[in-house]
Structure 1
Amino acid sequence: MRDSFRHRLDDLVASLVNMSDLAAAAMRDATTALLTNGLGVAERVIADDRIVDMARSACESDAHLLLALQAPVAGDLRLVIAAPHSAESLERMGDLAQHVAETVRRRFPREVLPPVLRPRFSHMADIAIDLAHGAAEALRTRSSGLTSSVSDADEELNDLHRSLFAVLEYQDWSYGVGAAVDAVRLSQCYERFGDHALSIVRRATFVETGVMAS
């Protein structure tokens, strides 16, 4: 019975790790669509979002079943309780990537970003994708040592989001209000994506230590 319980816990963690990888891939592909005006790639990201949605439902069902039938304690209990919250954050990360892709589709054939902003968004995407991979590693290892580096990366992403406003307010901005609004909304997607990844890392640390990192 105990071996079966441990196997199901391992399957639950593996499902969350897979969701993290899916979220990273979705944001990578959505950014490719954004930077290349790739409608086909954007359409694929939008269609594939349902896979993350279904994975969240499966994780929640598995966690609730383990809680009801196995009565876990200590770290196992913390893991089962944290799993649905992590799955929710991962689904939202997928939704944020989907929003980036939907912006590409909505504006097509016009390019969403002016050339001056593309390097910035490419960098934001690199950080966001690394954060999703960091979340996956934290779920696998539940190592508290990842929290500091992930938190620093998330803060860099927040700084890039905040500094965008200075770029848009610069007097030489000549791309119009619509482009500025799109840029702010997209930047917020990357910033929130990183915040969700950080929250997952903090929950993984809580599972291991019983202390929620600040």
Structure 2
Amino acid sequence: MRERFHGRLEELGGQLVRLSAAAAAELRLANRALFEHEPALAAEVKRTDRLLDSARDECEHTAHRLLALEAPVAGDLRLVLVAVYCADRLERMGDLARHIAETAARAHPDPAVPDDLLPAFEQLAECTAAMADDLCVFLSETGETGGTAFAQLHAADAEVDALQQHVLAEVTGPDWRHGVPAAVNATLLARFYGRFADQAVSVARRADFAATGALPR
């Protein structure tokens, strides 16, 4: 009986890792849509996001079934509850990646990001994609990371916040020459990357909780 339960618990963990990998892949596809100015990539991001939504539903269904049929306690209960929380946040990360691709598609045939802001957005894209990749590793190694996931992603998030503030300072500064639509696009895109990073940190925090039983501050 316990072997069956732990098998289902492992299945839930695997679903969460796959969900995390899907969010990371969707962001990388959205980054391509933004920098390559190819509307077809934005459409592909939307299709990927629908698959991620279905994966989130499947993960939650497995978790709810474990809660209803197995009545887990202590550490096992913590793992199930963390999975439900993280699945929702990972699905939200996919939504934010979709928003990036949609913003790029709306600006087409013009680029959504002016040339002088490209370096900042390239750094945002690289940093958030690395955070998403790291998160996949942390979730696949829950219990083996020593509760360090939050600290590592929190440090990366500080870089994302600084880049976001840089973009906002540029679009509101006296030297901005690209007009209101470009300012709106840049502000929204910076916000989407910032929120993506925030959600990744939130998932990492719960991963540490699953590993240690304490929420890092």
Bin of the TM-score, shorter chain as denominator length: over 0.9
Q: CA separation in 2, counterparts of 1:9 and 1:58?
A: 14
The 5-angstrom pairing of residues 9-158 of structure 1 reads: 9-142=9-142, 143=145, 144-158=147-161
Which string of whole-angstrom CA distances, capped at 9 and with x for unpartnered residues, describes residues 103-136 of structure 1? 1222222221111111211111111111112222
Measured after TM superposition, the shift of residue 186 of structure 1 is 0.6
Counterpart AA for 2:82 = A
Which string of whole-angstrom CA distances, capped at 9 and with x for unpartnered residues, describes residues 152-199 of structure 1? 001111111122122123332211011011101010100000111111
The aligned residue for residue 173 of structure 2 is: 170
Q: CA separation in 2, counterparts of 1:213 and 1:128?
A: 21
The aligned residue for residue 6 of structure 1 is: 6
1:211 pairs with 184, 209, 214, which one? 214
Measured after TM superposition, the shift of residue 90 of structure 1 is 0.4
Q: CA separation in 2, counterparts of 1:75 and 1:125?
A: 36
Unaligned runs of 5+ in 1: none
Q: Contact (CA 8 Å) 2:30, 2:98: kept in 1 or not?
A: yes
SS of alignment partner, residue 170 of structure 1: coil
Which string of whole-angstrom CA distances, capped at 9 and with x for unpartnered residues, describes residues 78-98 of structure 1? 010111110000000000000
The aligned residue for residue 196 of structure 1 is: 199
Q: TM-score, normalised by structure 2?
A: 0.95
Q: Contact (CA 8 Å) 2:125, 2:193: kept in 1 or not?
A: yes
Q: TM-score, normalised by structure 1?
A: 0.96
Counterpart AA for 1:170 = G
Q: CA separation in 2, counterparts of 1:110 and 1:160?
A: 23
Which string of whole-angstrom CA distances, capped at 9 and with x for unpartnered residues, describes residues 53-99 of structure 1? 00111111100100111111211110101111100000000000001
Unaligned runs of 5+ in 2: none
Q: CA RMSD in A?
A: 1.1
Q: How many residues align?
A: 214
Q: CA separation in 2, counterparts of 1:67 and 1:200?
A: 20
